[in-house]
Chains A and B, each alone.
Chain A
Amino acid sequence: CNESDLGPISLNWFEELSAEAPL
């Protein structure tokens, strides 16, 4: 994959999205 097409990548995406998403 071309990283620039996918945008900035985070290894901790699951924790970050869990902290941001409504409960």
Chain B
Amino acid sequence: DVAELLTPMLTDGPREESLQLVSEIKDSSCSCTVDVSTVWWEAAGSRELRVVTASESAVSLWEPLAPDCWGKVYTWHLGEIPVIQIVPLLDACNLVCVALGELEIGEIRLLLYSSETDSFKHSLVKTGNIKAVVGLKDQRLVSSSRTMQEHQVEMVLLSETGGSKDRQTLMPPEETVTAFAEVEGMREALVGTTAGNTVVVWNLKTGQLLRKMNIGYSYPASICHRAYSDSGLLFVVLSHPHAKESESCGSPAFRVVAFNPRTGRSAGVMFSCLPPGHVGRQYLEGDVWDTTGAAVLTSGAVAVWDLLRGRCAAVLPPGPGGHWALARWAAGGAGLLAGRRDGTFHLYRY
């Protein structure tokens, strides 16, 4: 009983009240939700934040009609290849990026509105055996793809009309790249995590692989979410979907690790552990915005952490409508989007 599990916590820390429900989106045509995100959209001279929802076969754009009400603007139907995820393009406007594929990403497409033809359309940006993809500031997209013969890491500069303006190949590490994160405040720096449990650093301008640093084997399959450089150290927010519970720190969902890029040495800065009562492998998927992390737990609840203090700040239990399946931060710190598989999404102010 999830409510019973959460009772000790609600009196002693994270509170559901920290998350205030702002509005609900119910997509009755969506039978199996795969992702939710936000996008800046400019229409008739005004720029506003819109919600993007994805099912396996279609992606829908929602506009705010009233403070607590959303209306569907358009739905892109994408054919036979299922949608796997929406790839947020942080500061892009009127551009939605999606990854499609079966077991892994096979193609990346841009969804957009063309003022030339006065119609919504989609275009192909990349195909391949794509292992990881990330959207960066200034309409840049980085992806890693791997076949038996070739390992490629590439940055694509996207155009507003759905094409690519430029491409830059980055030097691949030996191991498969599992995730990327932009280094905030350093436009040309990018970090990635690999299947060999290392953090790698690239120079995006030259394509150089600058450094490979060991994370440590106690937390396999770590994924990087965010990075920033301060006082000569590189701070990386990692999540640990497969971490096991230990006596010293419980079950870490997120960890902030400081790396010295000069020496490759690292030190743990802060753990963010699962709330009490949640044991074992409980983390399904998560998202990081600024210094807050959110994750869906196997109980069907969503937990929110203050990553710098290592404190679980809020827990959203599964409601009568069912378990939560997705947790995403809205762009610009506009709130938390929680989604269920049945096409129900809640926007919370945090």
Q: Which residues of A contact B (CB under 8 A)?
A: 1-2, 5-11, 13-14, 16-18, 21-23
Contacts and interface: CB of A to CB of B under 8 A. Distances in A.
Contacts of B201: 17
7 contacts: A1-B269, A2-B267, A5-B267, A6-B233, A6-B260, A7-B260, A13-B261
Given A7-B260, A21-B209, A14 B267 contact: no
Nearest to A8: B262
Interface residue tally on B, bucketed by range: 20 to 34
A17 B210 contact: yes
A6 B211 CA distance: 15
Contacts, number: 63
A11 B29 CA distance: 53
A8 B265 CA distance: 10
Nearest to B189: A14
B231 interface: yes
A1 B211 CA distance: 20
Nearest to A20: B210
- A-B pairs with the 10 shortest C-beta distances? A7-B263, A9-B232, A6-B260, A17-B210, A13-B261, A21-B208, A1-B267, A11-B232, A6-B265, A1-B258
Interface in B134-151: none
A21 to B, nearest CB: 4
